[in-house]
Amino acid sequence: MNAHEIDYHIYGEEMQYVEIELDPQEAVVAEAGSFMMMDSEIKMDTIFGDGSNQDSGVLGKLFSAGKRLLTGESLFMTVFLNIGQGKKQVSFASPYPGKIIPIDLTAFGGKFICQKDAFLCAAKGVSVGIEFSKKLGRGLFGGEGFIMQKLEGDGMAFVHAGGTTAKKTLAVGETLKVDTGCIIGFTQDVDYDIEFVGGIRNTVFGGEGLFYATLKGPGTVYIQSLPFSRLAGRVLASVPGKGKQKGEGSILGGLGDILDGDNRF
């Protein structure tokens, strides 16, 4: 295996955190801001990108790290290495109420595609890159845009989601229609596109946006009940002076809501 073999345990119900157990010289990489706690003999360091391309030279590392800017992430990631003699633990917390989902990349053919803000941490050696959509409709109107994150390798990765999660296994040709913001991620064989809701009443008064995502099997899809954009919108609508929207995604809610029910642009 190229990625480090890590053990883990997920704690909590609504505000979860994952505890990673590292053998000597094992490491885990994480997004900045997800760190919670660690044992004293774990060394924390900041690196370009995810550290999976250490043999690609300076330009290769810069290019890999620079691609992360397209997903709105930092050029840098944080690596936590066990420099002690025995097993040590480091923990990472979910940034908002929801669930942490372990993804065994070997079970999904070495690749998993997820929303650009879903990644939490992964075993050292897992590549955290970007996935471009080749479909114009998805790029223009998908809540995730035409750029998503892809996790590649043969190790464990962890993504976080809002609210309650659902795992759907799609058969060949089976299609699932989902609110664009409720997608956590899916396996590489799933065909993802954007479909127009249709109908003048749905468009103007439906309150769910003009488009939803269609996910066509075969493959596995993870869905979240409370995307952060929806949570943030509810909080913002309750702020004094802001006023409550009269119909999320409807013509009364503003141009942004017309195109996407939760302002996910």
pLDDT band at 62 (very low <50, low <70, confident <90, very high): low
Q: How far apart are CA 265 and CA 260, in angstroms?
A: 8
Name which residue leads in pLDDT, 234 or 92: 92
Tokens of residue 238, six digits? 């309750």
| C-beta separation of 113 from 132 below 8 A | no
pLDDT at 103 over 70: yes
Tens digits of residue pLDDT in 109-140: 999 999 878 999 999 999 888 887 655 455 55
Q: What is the pLDDT of residue 134?
A: 58
Name which residue leads in pLDDT, 150 or 2: 150
Mean pLDDT rounded to a whole number for the chain: 79
pLDDT at 96 over 70: yes
**Average pLDDT value for residue range 49-55:** 61
Residue 126: which of 219, 31, 38 has the closest Cα? 31
Tens digits of residue pLDDT in 170-211: 999 999 999 888 899 999 999 988 887 655 554 454 445 567
pLDDT band at 69 (very low <50, low <70, confident <90, very high): low
Structural domains of the chain, with CATH: 7-259 (3.60.160.10)
Q: How far apart are CA 95 and CA 119, in angstroms?
A: 11
pLDDT band at 253 (very low <50, low <70, confident <90, very high): very low
Q: What is the pLDDT of residue 73?
A: 59
Write the burial class of residue 193 (CB in 10 Å: 0-12 exposed, 13-18 middle, 19+ buried). middle
| C-beta separation of 121 from 92 below 8 A | yes
